[in-house]
């Protein structure tokens, strides 16, 4: 049964997951889990999110589905999988059918209004994504804060209002000036999820690997709650030492 995206009194806790194991760990604490195309960078190590296709996102989402019991599960539509309303509908239906997710996420606002309209008309729950849109980024230098001038501000506001009017259930607002995110919040009757936006948003989302400290570099909007990279390095170092010194395996580790 599809879980409906509805407003809640407390702030929404949102994270990404790319497999069952991570999903099982974070599910008790989350309201929404995103199978994001961010996996292209955070999981596979590619330079941008365009390297993930429909088959890859579906495969990962199937795994995540096995680990999600409580949270709303959202799946990104990869780059170039929603170029027209008909293409978007075909691919969205495929994702929903094969992954049993609750909603799909698309990047964009006014420019893709006809696509969004078609999907909603077909009773598909949509999560929007405005501000910095990673699928439009090819080089790392293009990851820039949005809303620094009136043109960008007006575009972001237009995108949000378009999505809200169309009936989108929630919108991710990424890397925009806080003043703009606050303005959006004052105009919003739907769920806003910030990532480098404002604490006034209805919820926040981070890439799980970022908050765990898997990488040396993380964006300004990330807070590291652990240093998993260091923990892994220490464990592997001890293992290598034990193997070299023939301390592993011990009697209890062999049959």
Q: Which segments of 131-227 does DSSP mark as H helices, in order?
A: 150-166, 178-187, 208-212
For residue 7, the 8-state DSSP code is -
CA–CA distance, 229 with 132 (Å, rounded to integer): 27
Name residue 105's beta-bridge partners.
Answer: 76, 127
Whether 83 and 92 have beta carbons less than 8 Å apart is answered as no
CA–CA distance, 161 with 163 (Å, rounded to integer): 5
Whether 87 and 81 have beta carbons less than 8 Å apart is answered as yes
Q: Give the tokens for residue 32.
A: 């929404």
**245 classed as catalytic:** no
Q: Nearest Cα to 171, choosing from 186, 155, 147, 189?
A: 189
Q: Nearest Cα to 103, choosing from 176, 196, 3, 27?
A: 3
Give the DSSP letter string of 78-126: PTTS-SSHHHHHHHHHHHHHHH--SEEE--BSGGGHHHHHHHHHTT--E
In whole angstroms, how far apart are CA 254 and each of 149, 245, 248? 65, 17, 10
Among 24, 174, 178, 209, the active-site one is 174
Cis peptide before 249 (omega within 30 of 0): yes
Report the catalytic residues: 174
């Amino acid at each position: 049964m599809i879980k409906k995206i509805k407003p809640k009194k407390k702030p929404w806790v949102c994270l990404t997951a790319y497999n069952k194991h991570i999903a099982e760990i974070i599910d008790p604490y989350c309201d929404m889990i995103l199978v994001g195309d961010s996996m292209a960078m955070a999981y596979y190590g590619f330079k941008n999110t365009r390297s993930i296709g429909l088959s890859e996102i579906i495969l990962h989402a199937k795994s995540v589905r096995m680990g999600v019991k409580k949270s709303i599960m959202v799946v990104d539509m990869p780059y170039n999988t929603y170029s027209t309303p008909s293409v978007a509908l075909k691919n969205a239906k495929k994702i929903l059918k094969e992954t049993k997710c609750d909603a799909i996420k698309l990047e964009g606002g006014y420019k893709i209004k006809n696509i969004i309209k078609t999907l909603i008309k077909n009773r598909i729950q949509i999560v929007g994504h405005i501000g910095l849109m990673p699928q439009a980024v090819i080089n790392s230098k293009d990851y820039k804060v949005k809303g620094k001038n009136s043109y960008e501000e007006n575009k972001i506001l237009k995108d949000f209002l378009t999505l809200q009017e169309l009936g989108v259930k929630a919108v991710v607002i990424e890397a925009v000036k806080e003043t703009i995110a606050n303005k959006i919040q004052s105009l919003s009757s739907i769920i806003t999820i910030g990532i480098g936006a404002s604490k006034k948003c209805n919820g926040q989302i981070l890439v799980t690997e970022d908050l765990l400290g898997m990488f040396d570099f993380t964006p300004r909007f990330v807070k590291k709650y652990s240093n998993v990279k260091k923990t892994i390095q220490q464990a592997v170092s001890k293992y290598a030492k034990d193997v070299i010194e023939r301390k592993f395996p011990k009697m209890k580790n062999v049959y």
